[in-house]
């Protein structure tokens, strides 16, 4: 790979949008190398990106417990966990750098859990039979993000990174087919601002807020990646969304978001529902052992409660569809710690998951030590995202995409503790290398914000904002988002059929139409206006949702998080179709109300054998 | 339940704000405080009025974005709880609730309940890190860190940077926030080489950013949603004193 001479690096400017694990790590590392970096986040500080909410841990192939782990095994587990729909080379690289990440974070002062002798501690996680997960209590994402934030802070202090907080990217500026900058809205003043860069990096996270209720933060959106899509970037596998099995069930219809409880709870918690529907209203302690159905242990004896997320989620849905759900809504299953408390004592369980029990009690007013928790699946993560090559560059030259925002390593399903690994791998150890060959081919600083494309982009953004503000209809942004969310959850959620997807494709444009005719966005353009921010994000979801559904409809197979009811085995397991669908579906935007065009990137597996993914 | 809210409304940084009164009727005890405000806002929008602006993001108590003084207490009266995790079952039918922004000279109000907390980032930029480079570091197990030290560091590192400690302090001091980072890095071997420089740089930054000093009221610990202990302030003071003793290495 080509390199950029150290004395030339300072001549280049790189824009990094998003300051989570991927963006924060990238901005810090690129700044340290000597590039001029400008970083952007919509929150008031880069430390608040939603990576912070990851609880359970981060995988690495250290094999410290001497339990047979290796780079190959982590690679294989990730490819298999993704139901053989990830690009092999990218996953291999991820597994290779996984160990460096742990070392890097330790050097930053991340307080990983340690044993009394002072060595790093590990726990096991869904989809793996080794203990390869490093953790910092139930706040691993927070600690890793604060590590990246500290590295970023150091570069801001050194003047290598200029930080723009409370900015939201509302357009990608493309000049002669090459990414050259972004258009942002200053969320405090309302000013529309232009920024130029020799390269643009998007690390803007995932899109599952398209379901309205999800575990994502309220501000998470598809806006940045969707704007890039509209400028020609391909959107890959948008139908691969992860529904996380261990979330707190929904209560009432006024809820604004769902709360995840770390999957690590499944290490010591047993999942069950009553065998008979008539027991569902009883207090769990009144249901004797023989009347309980520990369905994960029954169906998947070798992985048991640690079955991967897609499988555990679908099994919970099946149990509830069967009328055996618990709780007021009957959309819940028990997660029971009694056996572990009996075996290890309450204090051990408290030490491992104390903060999660506390959080559960705050939300539900129930004590998880005294009675089993109730959990239900919720939208959590998007495996799909912008298409990138091995260098993490999209099909638009100069546009790089990192972390959850790209599609590359998780295939159709992500394993637990792998998102943190990918974000930091991309930011610390991939982009610093892979951006160099691209930059080495350029003369730096050739196109700046005085180029007409920047003015045009800013003008378009202003017009769209004014259009939204002028509708003054009857429905709030929140109401319309809930409508979209309910269509997406019912029709494009955990189980999808041709009929449900076609129904969604009819409903989405209707809601979009209503948005543009009947939404009420209060306030003005030139002020801090949160309704306008929400409206903007929803407008993009309303277009993105259609592409996501189109992808789900075209993929006539079940794999990972994408479950088509037409394609299942007799006992309800996902049935892949490697003959016809072993490819990345990369969609090219052709305009609102026009069908997107599909480009296929075949997936070639040279080091693993395609197999039926079994956790039995 | 039915509630009466008195909410601080302020159009912009230069404007004069005041408390406005709103009704929140039919509130469910299972709703979160912010979900209750979402509904009040929906009503305001439908009445053609400007909804209440407030910071929030993760709504699960970890990002540190939410920041409201509820009945005079940052994040409300429930211990170790952020506003977003506060639920309406903590209130009673007929309650009057006063909702205000963080108040501190270092946190100018941007709009309604939203303040600018950039000053906390500046304190971090002064030295809240180890100056390690990306790549080329030692194996994670090359440094042995006993469990008690790792636990102590983690207790400090749990700070979510919300600024409730500043809002609670009569002096608007950022001492608890700063001490959490200083203490975490001072006890870890990775942070020790820069400990002297760090504590001085961060202490200078809290003064230049307009935070007050600490006079041991301990309101910060009481308000902290993560229960960060004031023992870290003692640690900060010790570290600061140590840094004043001349060393041949300076």
Decide if A208 contacts A217 (C-beta within 8 A): no
**In Å, how far is A248's CA from the nearest CA of chain B?**
11
Residue for token pair 């009673």 = B92
* Set of chain B residues whose Cβ sits within 8 Å of the Cβ of A46: 121
CA nearest to A364, candidates A261, A500, A453: A261
SS3 for A387? Answer: coil
- Interchain CB distance below 8 Å, A154 and B65: no
The residues that bridge with A200 in the sheet, in sequence order, are A15, A399
- Structure confidence at residue B38 as a pLDDT band (50, 70, 90): very high
Q: Which B-chain residues 73-92 have CB contacts (< 8 A) with chain A?
A: 78, 80-81, 85, 87, 89
pLDDT value of residue B249 = 66
What sign for the dihedral angle of Cα A224, A228, A230, A233? negative
| pLDDT greater than 70 at residue A265 | yes
The burial class, CB within 10 Å (0-12 / 13-18 / 19+), for A249 is: buried
Instruction: Tell me the DSSP string of A268-308.
Output: T-EEEEESSGGGTTS-GGGS-GGGEE-HHHHH-TTTGGG--
Query: Which residue's structure tokens are 């003008």?
Result: A459
- Which helix (H) or strand (E) is A504 found in, with range? helix A498-518
Percentage of chain A exceeding pLDDT 90: 91
In DSSP notation, A15-68 reads EEE--SHHHHHHHHHHHHHT-EEEEE-SSSSGGGSGGGG--S-EE----TT-SS
Q: Does B140 contact A at CB distance below 8 Å?
A: yes
Instruction: Tell me the pLDDT band of A147, cut-offs 50, 70 and 90.
Output: very high
pLDDT digits (tens, 9 = 90+) for A8-64: 999 999 999 999 999 999 999 999 999 999 999 999 999 999 999 998 899 999 999
> Please, what's the b/e burial string for A520-535 (b: 16 or more CB within 10 A of its CB; e: otherwise)?
bbbbebebbbbbbbbb
Share of chain B above pLDDT 70, in %: 99
At A466, is the secondary structure helix, strand, or coil?
helix
Inter-residue contact A373 to A246 (CB < 8 Å): no
Those residues whose C-beta lies under 8 Å from the C-beta of residue A347, and which sit 6 or more positions away, are none
Report CA-CA distances (Å) from B209 to B114, B173, B202, B205, B212: 18, 11, 10, 6, 9
**Reported ipTM:** 0.98
**Burial of residue B100, with CB atoms counted within 10 A of its CB: 0-12 exposed, 13-18 middle, 19 or more buried:** buried
**Which residue from A560, A575, A539 is spatially nearest to A237, judged by alpha carbons?**
A560
CB contact under 8 A, A522 and B34: no
Give the Å distances, CA to CA, from A155 to A36, A39, A47, B125, B132. Answer: 10, 11, 14, 8, 11
Cα distances from A144 to residues A52, A149, A609, B239, in angstroms, run: 8, 8, 34, 25
Shortest distance, CA A7 to any CA of chain B (angstroms): 18
User: Residue A313: what pLDDT?
Assistant: 95
Asked if residues A372 and A338 have their Cβ atoms less than 8 Å apart, the reply is yes
Alpha helix positions (H), chain B: 33-46, 118-125, 147-157, 164-168, 175-187, 195-208, 219-223, 231-244
Q: Chain A window 433-462: which residues touch B at a Cβ cutoff of 8 Å?
A: none
Q: What is the pLDDT of residue A571?
A: 84
Tokens of A499: 């009929």
Confidence band, pLDDT 50/70/90 cuts, at residue A138? confident
**Dihedrals phi, psi of A301, to nearest 5 degrees:** -55, -35
CB B19 within 8 A of CB B98: yes
Spell out the residues 6+ positions from residue B26 whose beta carbon is closer than 8 angstroms to its own.
Answer: B1, B2
Q: Which helix (H) or strand (E) holds A194?
A: strand A192-196
Average pLDDT of B55-65? 97
On the question of pLDDT at B250 being above 70, the answer is no
Check A44 against B55: CB less than 8 A apart: yes
CA angle, B154 as apex, B153 and B159 as ends, to 5°?
A: 105
Which of B50, B135, B140 comes nearest A106 by C-beta? B140
Give me the residue from B46, B118, B138 closest to A103, CB to CB: B138
Helix (H, G, I), strand (E, B) or coil at B185: helix
> Which one, of A289, A364, A287, A367, lies nearest residue A327 by Cα?
A364
pLDDT in tens, A382-410: 999 999 999 999 999 999 999 999 999 99
pLDDT over 90 at B248, yes or no? no
B69-80 in b/e burial notation, b at 16+ Cβ within 10 A? bbeebbbbebeb
Looking only at the bridges linking them, the beta strands covering A373-382 and A178-186 are unpaired
- B196 shares contact with chain A (CB less than 8 Å): no
Partners of A43 in beta bridges: none
Residues 6+ apart with CB under 8 A from A193: A167, A183, A184, A185, A186
Q: Which tokens is A237 given?
A: 């596998």
B190 contacts in chain A (CB < 8 Å): 106-109
pLDDT (tens digit, 9 = 90+) per residue, A294-324? 999 999 999 999 988 999 999 999 999 999 9
- The answer to whether A415 and A126 are in contact (CB under 8 A) is yes
The pLDDT value recorded for residue A128 is: 83
DSSP single-letter state for residue A374: E
Give tens-digit pLDDT for A489-532: 999 999 999 999 999 999 999 999 999 999 999 999 999 999 99
pLDDT at residue B173 above 90?
Answer: yes
CA A122 to chain CA centroid, nearest Å: 23
CA distance A603 to chain B (A): 31
CB-based contact, A522 to chain B, within 8 Å: yes
Q: Of all residues in chain A, what percent carry a pLDDT higher than 70?
A: 100
Is B38 in contact with A478 (Cβ distance < 8 A)?
A: yes
pLDDT tens per residue across span B72-100: 999 999 999 999 999 999 999 999 999 99
Closest CA to B71 of B87, B91, B51: B91
| The pair of three-digit structure tokens given for residue A437, joined into one six-digit string | 């060959």
Cα(A364)–Cα(A582) distance, integer angstroms: 43
Whether pLDDT at A126 is above 80:
no
Dihedral angle, C-alpha A528, A532, A538, A544, nearest 10 ° = -80
Task: Please give the average per-residue pLDDT across A347-366, as a whole number.
Answer: 89
Which residues of chain B does A116 touch, with a Cβ-Cβ cutoff of 8 Å? Answer: 146-147
Identify the pLDDT of residue A144.
98
* CA A117 vs CA A50, A316, A411, B137, B145: distances in Å: 33, 40, 38, 21, 8
Among A141, A30, A176, residue whose Cα is nearest residue A418: A141
Rounded mean pLDDT, A280-287: 95
pLDDT at A352: 81
Q: Is A524 strand, coil or helix?
A: coil
Across the A/B interface, how many CB contacts are shorter than 8 Å?
Answer: 218
Are B118 and A476 within 8 A, CB to CB? Answer: no
Contact flag A104-B158 (C-beta cutoff 8 Å): no
| B16 Cβ under 8 Å from any chain A Cβ | no
pLDDT of B235 over the 80 cut: yes
List active site positions of A: 309
Give the per-residue pLDDT at A614: 81
Token pair 């100018």: residue: B108
Residues A176-207 pLDDT 10s: 999 999 999 999 999 999 999 999 999 999 99
pLDDT digits (tens, 9 = 90+) for A55-80: 889 999 999 999 999 999 999 999 99
């Amino acid at each position: 790979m080509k390199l950029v001479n150290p004395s030339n690096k300072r001549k280049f400017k790189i824009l990094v949008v998003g300051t989570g694990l991927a963006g924060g790590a990238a901005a810090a590392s690129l700044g340290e190398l000597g590039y001029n970096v400008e970083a952007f986040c919509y929150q008031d500080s880069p430390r608040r990106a939603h990576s912070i909410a990851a609880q359970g841990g981060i995988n690495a192939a250290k094999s410290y417990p001497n339990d047979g782990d290796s780079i190959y095994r982590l690679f294989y587990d990730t490819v298999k966990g993704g139901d053989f729909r990830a690009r092999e080379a990218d996953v291999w690289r991820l597994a290779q750098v996984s160990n460096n990440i742990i070392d890097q974070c330790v050097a930053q002062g991340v307080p990983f859990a340690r044993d009394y002798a002072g060595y790093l501690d590990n726990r096991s996680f869904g989809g793996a039979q080794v203990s390869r997960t490093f953790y910092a209590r139930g706040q691993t994402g927070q600690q890793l993000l604060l590590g990246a934030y500290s590295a970023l802070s150091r570069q801001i202090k050194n003047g290598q990174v200029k930080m723009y907080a409370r900015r939201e990217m509302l357009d990608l500026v493309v000049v002669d087919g090459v990414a050259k900058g972004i258009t942002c809205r200053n969320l405090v003043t309302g000013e529309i601002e232009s920024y130029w860069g020799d390269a643009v990096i998007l690390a803007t996270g995932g899109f599952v807020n398209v379901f309205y209720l999800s575990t994502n933060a309220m501000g998470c959106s598809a806006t940045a990646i969707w704007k890039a899509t509209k400028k020609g970037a391909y959107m890959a596998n948008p139908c691969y969304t992860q529904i996380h099995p261990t979330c707190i069930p929904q209560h009432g219809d006024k809820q604004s978001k769902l709360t995840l409880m770390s999957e690590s709870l499944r290490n010591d918690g047993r999942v069950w529902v009553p065998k008979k529907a008539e027991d569902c209203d009883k207090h769990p302690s009144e249901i004797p052992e023989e009347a309980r159905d520990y369905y994960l242990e029954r169906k998947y004896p070798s992985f048991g409660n640690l079955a991967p997320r897609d499988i555990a989620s679908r099994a919970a849905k099946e149990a509830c569809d069967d009328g055996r759900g618990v709780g007021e809504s009957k959309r819940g299953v028990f997660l029971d710690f009694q056996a572990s408390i009996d075996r290890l004592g309450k204090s051990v369980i408290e030490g491992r998951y104390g903060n999660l029990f506390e959080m559960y009690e705050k939300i539900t007013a129930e004590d998880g030590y005294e009675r089993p928790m109730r959990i239900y699946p919720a939208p959590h993560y998007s495996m799909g995202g912008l298409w990138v090559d091995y260098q993490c560059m999209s099909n638009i030259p100069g546009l790089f995409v990192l972390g959850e925002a790209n599609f590359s390593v998780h295939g159709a399903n992500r394993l637990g503790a792998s998102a943190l690994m990918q974000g930091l791998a991309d930011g610390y150890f991939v982009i610093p290398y892979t951006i160099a060959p691209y930059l080495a081919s350029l003369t730096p600083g050739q196109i700046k914000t005085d180029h007409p494309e920047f003015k045009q982009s800013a003008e378009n953004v202003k017009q769209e904002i004014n259009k939204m503000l002028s509708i003054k209809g009857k429905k709030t942004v929140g109401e319309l988002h809930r409508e979209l969310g309910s269509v997406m959850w019912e029709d494009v959620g955990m189980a999808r059929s041709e009929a449900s997807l076609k129904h969604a494709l009819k409903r989405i444009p209707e809601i979009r139409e209503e948005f543009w005719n009947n939404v009420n966005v209060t306030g003005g353009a030139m002020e801090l206006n949160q309704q306008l921010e929400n409206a903007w994000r929803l407008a993009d979801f309303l277009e993105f949702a259609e592409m996501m559904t189109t992808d789900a409809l075209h993929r006539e197979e079940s794999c990972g998080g994408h479950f088509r009811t037409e394609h299942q085995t007799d006992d309800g397991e996902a049935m892949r179709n490697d003959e016809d669908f072993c490819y990345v579906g990369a969609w090219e935007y052709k305009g609102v109300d026009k069908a997107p065009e599909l480009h296929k990137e075949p997936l070639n597996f040279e080091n693993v054998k395609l197999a039926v993914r079994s956790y039995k | 339940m039915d509630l009466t809210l008195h909410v601080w409304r302020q159009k912009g940084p230069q404007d004069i704000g005041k408390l406005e009164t709103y009704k929140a009727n039919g509130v469910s005890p299972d709703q979160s405080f912010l979900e209750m405000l979402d509904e009040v806002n929906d009503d305001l929008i439908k009445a053609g009025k400007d909804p209440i602006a407030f910071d929030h993001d993760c709504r699960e108590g970890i990002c540190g974005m939410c920041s409201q003084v509820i009945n005079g207490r940052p994040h409300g009266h429930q211990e170790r709880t952020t506003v977003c995790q506060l639920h309406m079952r903590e209130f009673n039918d007929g309650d009057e609730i006063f909702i205000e922004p963080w108040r501190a000279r270092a946190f100018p109000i941007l709009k309604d309940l939203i303040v600018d907390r950039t000053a906390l980032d500046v304190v971090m930029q002064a030295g809240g890190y180890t100056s390690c480079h990306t790549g080329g570091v030692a194996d994670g197990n090359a440094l042995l860190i006993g469990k008690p030290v790792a636990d102590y560091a983690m207790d400090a590192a749990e700070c979510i940077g919300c600024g409730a400690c500043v809002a609670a302090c009569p002096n608007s001091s950022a001492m608890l926030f700063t001490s959490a980072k200083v203490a975490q890095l001072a006890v870890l071997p990775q942070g020790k080489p820069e400990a002297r420089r760090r504590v001085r740089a961060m202490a200078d930054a809290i003064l230049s950013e307009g935070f007050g000093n600490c006079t041991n009221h301990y309101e910060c610990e009481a308000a902290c949603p993560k229960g960060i202990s004031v023992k870290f302030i003692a640690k900060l003071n010790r570290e600061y004193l140590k840094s004043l003793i001349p060393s041949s290495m300076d």
